[in-house]
Amino acid sequence: MDIRFPRPSVTLGVVTVIVAATAAVVVTGAGAASAASVTFTPVADTYVQSDAAATNYGTSTQVVVDNSPVRRSFLRFTVSGVSGTVTGAKLRLRTISGNSGSDAGGTFRRMSNTTWSETGTTWNNQPTIDGATLGTIGAVSGNTWYEVDVTAAVTGNGTYSFGATSTSGDGAYYDTRESGADAPQLVVTTGTTTPPPSGDPVFVGAGDIADSGSGDSATATLLDSIPGTVFTTGDNVYDSGTSSQFNSYYEPTWGRHKSRTRPSPGNHDYNTSGASGYYNYFGTSAGPSGRGYYSYDLGNWHVVSLNSNISMSAGSTQEQWLRADLAASSKPCTIAYWHHPLFTSSSNHAPSTSTRPLYQALYDYNADVVVWGHNHVYERFAPMNPAGGAESSRGLRSFVAGMGGAGHYGFGTIQPNSEARNSSAWGVLKFTLHSNSYDWQFVPVAGQTYTDTGTSTCH
């Protein structure tokens, strides 16, 4: 029996997130230095075409790079309000929907000309693409975001022009600034992020994340300043977990951290048959396709991601796998996460008692922490046994972390052993995993003040 999925590679450091607003957000706290990301959209973009030498395409909803006919694209951004040292800059473009893609997404260079006219530029009077090469996009598919690292060109406030060309006769088509939310983006990051002084792993995330609102952008921005492994507790995208919704809502926000994310699925992810949108989007990071449960290690901790949308009964395939996985682990501390909560005080979704066999298995193998989503609130419970009784010696401390960006829920009757709760602040739940203990911290989005922090030893 395959008892665990291989531990992922984890990328630490600054990971830029796209935000809808253009204001910098600064997050500081234990283990994180000051950092901020600001997103700018173009003030001008257009392309030119060799066989239509006098035509201007400045009002087009697409820019194109191609070599048959030759088509070159131009983008200009004005960066303002940025303070501090620029530590990263990403040029992001989205391929248009309905296009089959290309074998080459283009080569991008900085341009010295920053005054060319969006509505006046043609092949005949095009500006020279004269700067150093910044990066190249390889093969592209339709309706997908791609990025180029342009840190070498963006040094602070100012106006920046970028030109793109291609040596391929298979053109690549990108949305322009006329496309609203799909417009090109220049994401500028200032400051630095550093791991905790101890070097202990950081484990951070939330559930109930991405929709057409702004909450997911705000929580994704928090992740810019928090290194470590990102987890999700399900309902990654609303309303139906389609591939289109993952590309439209999740990808521009939390998708910026996909390379270090280890997700779990929720019921909305399963609104698409077999959660195919979820499994296709996350790929091997979500464990074996269609199964939805897997495990890995972080430092002295064993981490288990489970699937509360399939059978969890005692003796089920998942429950048997979990017991074998826990028995095989040599780590002294264990944390698990899935979507539906066994304990919750929210008035929207009652406790999911069908998850109890998973909790029981974790309890039987002396696990320490479990994290859920589903209810769009934050709640922390004291260590409890599977029956819900307080038990400090072996009980698991549990958290409902459903504040990733979807609309807030409320609380009803407060359940026994509920120690902290909030229903108004979006945020992320951050764990610092020490060798035989852990710290937790609710980190709120900008403009919110609710926090919850603490520390505890492993069993």
Q: To which residue do tokens 């710290």 refer?
A: 439
Is the bond preceding 357 in cis, omega lying within 30 degrees of 0?
A: no
As a whole number, mean pLDDT of residues 236-256 equals 95
CATH number of the domain encompassing residue 66: 2.60.120
Residue 75, φ and ψ in degrees, nearest 5: -135, 140
| Rounded alpha-carbon distances, angstroms, from residue 156 to 89, 159, 450 | 10, 9, 33
Q: Is residue 10 part of a domain?
A: no
**Cβ partners under 8 Å of residue 150, min gap 6:** 89, 90, 91, 108, 110, 134, 135, 160, 162, 186
Cα 252 to Cα 254: distance, rounded to the nearest angstrom: 7
Amino acid present at 309: N
Cα 8 to Cα 387: distance, rounded to the nearest angstrom: 34
Q: Is residue 8 part of a domain?
A: no
Query: Which neighbouring-strand residues pair with 427?
Result: 444
pTM of the complete model beyond 0.75: no
As a whole number, mean pLDDT of residues 351-370 equals 98
**Cβ partners under 8 Å of residue 382, min gap 6:** 390, 392, 395, 397, 417, 419
Instruction: State how many domains the chain has.
Output: 2
Residues 248 and 301 in one domain: yes
| Rounded alpha-carbon distances, angstroms, from residue 4 to 122, 287, 295, 313 | 58, 9, 5, 19
Q: To which residue do tokens 């929580």 refer?
A: 219
Contact indicator for 74, 163 with CB cutoff of 8 Å = yes
Residues 305 and 384 in one domain: yes
Please report the pLDDT score of residue 101 as a whole number.
85
Residue 250, φ and ψ in degrees, nearest 5: -75, -45
Residues 284 and 428 in one domain: yes
Q: Is residue 22 part of a domain?
A: no
The token pair at 268 is 């909305």
Cα 240 to Cα 26: distance, rounded to the nearest angstrom: 33
Contact indicator for 374, 207 with CB cutoff of 8 Å = yes
Residues 350 and 378 in one domain: yes
Amino acid present at 230: V
Residues 240 and 183 in one domain: no
pLDDT tens for 9-51 read: 333 333 332 322 322 222 223 333 445 778 899 999 999 999 9
Residues 173 and 200 in one domain: no
As a whole number, mean pLDDT of residues 330-355 equals 97
Containing structural domain, residue 51 = 36-191
Weakest-pLDDT range from 80-89, 169-178, 225-234, 249-258: 80-89
128-133: long-range pairs with CB below 8 Å, 24+: 129/72, 129/74, 129/163, 129/164, 129/165, 131/163, 133/107, 133/108, 133/109
pLDDT tens for 187-237 read: 888 875 444 455 899 999 999 999 988 899 999 999 998 999 999 999 999
Residues 308 and 330 in one domain: yes
Give the distance, in angstroms, between the CA of residue 244 and the centroid of all CA atoms in the same chain.
16
